[in-house]
Amino acid sequence: MNRSKTQSLLQLILNAPPLTWILLGFSISYLFFFIYPIFFSSHVMEFPAYVPAIDPIGVDLQQMLSYSDSLFTARQTPYIGFNLYPPLASVLFIPLLTVEFSLAYKIVTLVNVLSITCLSIISKPGLNGKGSETQKA
């Protein structure tokens, strides 16, 4: 019985539409040839010279983690320095205080990429006009 499930899963994968294979190939190459080299390969963003990049990488995350540290560890107001974010933003970053900065940076970057991917997949039916009640008339 387990073999039949494996065969049906394999058939489902092999019968996927060509657009699925194109998007899968693009996504894999995007992750390995854009996201990884630019954001994960060194301590500085590896953009070409014509794109301004902040040195060192992750300064904005360090700043947000300092706000969270001020709120959670020091029990002070999170409005230190130039913090214009609401306290909830500081609370959401508190779990990242328990891991090393490099891991926290990777987590935030991967969550952003996955969120954009999921949002693109979810919003696709609404963008092509199908399912819209106004266009049926």
Task: Please give the chain's pLDDT, 137 residues, in tens.
Answer: 577 888 887 888 788 787 777 888 888 888 887 777 777 776 655 556 666 666 667 788 888 888 888 888 877 776 767 777 788 888 889 899 999 988 888 899 889 888 888 887 787 766 666 555 544 44
Answer yes or no: is 120 within a domain.
Answer: yes
137 within domain boundaries: no
Q: Evaluate whether 93 touches 68 at the Cβ level (below 8 Å).
A: yes
pLDDT of residue 99: 92
Q: Helix crossing, 101-127 with 59-72: angle to 10°?
A: 110
Report d(CA 130, CA 20) in Å as an integer.
19
Domain assignment present for 104: yes
Domain contains 101 = yes
Q: What is the pTM of this model?
A: 0.58
In a domain, residue 11? The reply is no
Per the structure, the complete domain to which residue 41 belongs is given by: 36-128
Residue 1 included in any domain:
no
Per-residue confidence (pLDDT) for residue 137, from 0 to 100: 46
- List all residues 6 or more positions away from 73 whose beta carbon is below 8 Å from its beta carbon: 97
Query: What pLDDT is stored for residue 46 in this prediction?
Result: 59
